[in-house]
Amino acid sequence: MTTTDVVDWDAITLDPRFIDLHRRKTAFLWGLMALSVAYYFLLPIGAAYFQDLFKIRVWGVLNVGLLFALSEFILTWVVALIYARKCSRDFDRLAALISADFASRSASRPGVNV
């Protein structure tokens, strides 16, 4: 069972709404990913090459190193929140519109698997 006669993928890729969605989604995902990876790698790099910085005591015996490691937890949760919010407010709606539109076009043809 092939899909090419069920959903017109090529038509969707030409749809301006889809192109817009894809562009914004790409920019968002990869941008966020790049930031996260950069922030994360500051940790092993710091632990390896900036040990004197990491040893500075900031809060009692807590040093920069430990606080920085703990901040990575905050990073992770904030990124998850931002991503989930952006998807539910923005991308999901647009994707649903496009998908409903093309599904109704395909539904008029026989053999559709829904």
Summarize as ranges the residues that interact with another protein (CB under 8 A): 1-3, 6-7, 9-10, 12-13, 18, 21-22, 25, 29, 32-33, 36-37, 40-41, 43-45, 47-49, 51, 54-55, 57, 59-63, 65-66, 69-70, 72-73, 75-77, 79-80, 83-84, 87, 92, 95-96, 98-100, 102-103, 112-114
- Compute the least distance from the CB of residue 17 to another protein, in Å: 10
Give the Cα separation of 113 and 23 in Å (integer): 29
Q: Which has the closest alpha carbon to 25: 83, 71, 81?
A: 83
CA 87 to chain CA mean position, Å: 9
